[in-house]
Amino acid sequence: MNIVLLGAPGAGKGTQAQKLVADYGIAHISTGDLLRAAVKAQSPLGIKAKGYMDAGELVPDELVIDLVKERLAADDCQEGFILDGFPRNTAQAVSLDSELSELGKPLDSALLVAVEPDVIVERLSSRRTCRACGFTGSTKHESCPNCGGEMHQRDDDKPETVQNRLDVYQSQTAPLVEYYRGQGILMEVDGDRPVDEVYVDVKNLLGL
């Protein structure tokens, strides 16, 4: 099963992906996680990406596209993958289509996790992430329920960056909804509900 998850930052894409990974072992490709790991490791990619990420801007396409191509070639992606946070604009979507067609692994579905912008602002400002394992929780988690690690607020979840990320989403990423609708593979789930309710619909839509 080859899936793209669409939706604004904070819509719950990563949370739904983590559940699918835990239950079905499908490979999870989160470009945000890959980029944060590169920043932490201070790799050449991380050094180039950091400024864009801190400002809530998109990292240049060529950097992210190469990262995804490399990840799609890994063993764990051969039986299927969930792309989370990629593509983020039309150029990335076109490049993904051509890469997947070369690999003979076309997308089965693009699943939109739909949440209204005012809910997103509220969610992002209370979101807390585990420094150790990346678990996504909220201010109610004093430590990580997964691994006991320290929960912190991502720099780009701070109020001064959140609005820019939403603006970038509206102008650059939201048009992908029509792109995938045009390909006949768009599905939509109401993400403004408890995580487990959303997940039931996600599984139904994906035929799991």
| Binding positions for ligand AMP, rule: CB under 6 A | 9, 31-32, 35, 52-53, 56-59, 64, 85-86, 88, 92, 156, 165
How far, in Å, CA of 16 to CA of 196, rounded? 9
- Is 127 in the active site? yes
How far, in Å, CA of 173 to CA of 159, rounded? 20
**Least distance between ligand AMP and beta carbon 58 (Å):** 4
How far, in Å, CA of 38 to CA of 59, rounded? 12
- Set 48, 154, 193, 203: catalytic member: 154
**Least distance between ligand AMP and beta carbon 207 (Å):** 26
- Is 88 in the active site? yes
- Is 123 in the active site? no
Q: Where are the alpha helices (DSSP H) in the chain?
A: 13-24, 31-40, 44-55, 61-72, 90-103, 117-126, 159-168, 175-182, 195-206
- Look at residue 147 and give its three-state secondary structure: coil
**Least distance between ligand AMP and beta carbon 118 (Å):** 18
Q: Between residues 89 and 198, which has the closer beta carbon with respect to ligand AMP?
A: 89
**Least distance between ligand AMP and beta carbon 61 (Å):** 7
- Set 13, 36, 50, 128: catalytic member: 13
How far, in Å, CA of 67 to CA of 153, rounded? 25
Q: Between residues 88 and 123, which has the closer beta carbon with respect to ligand AMP?
A: 88
Hunting for tokens 């607020």 — which residue is that? Answer: 153
| Best CA proximity match to 81, nearest among 118, 8, 30, 10 | 30
Q: Between residues 163 and 204, which has the closer beta carbon with respect to ligand AMP?
A: 163
- Set 36, 50, 71, 88: catalytic member: 88
**Least distance between ligand AMP and beta carbon 199 (Å):** 19
Q: Between residues 160 and 200, which has the closer beta carbon with respect to ligand AMP?
A: 160
How far, in Å, CA of 195 to CA of 46, rounded? 31
Report the relative pairing of strands 2-6 and 109-114 from DSSP bridges.
parallel
- Set 36, 50, 71, 127: catalytic member: 127
- Is 165 in the active site? yes
On the question of a cis peptide bond just before residue 106, with omega within 30 degrees of 0, the verdict is no
Catalytic residues, by residue number, are: 13, 88, 127, 154, 165
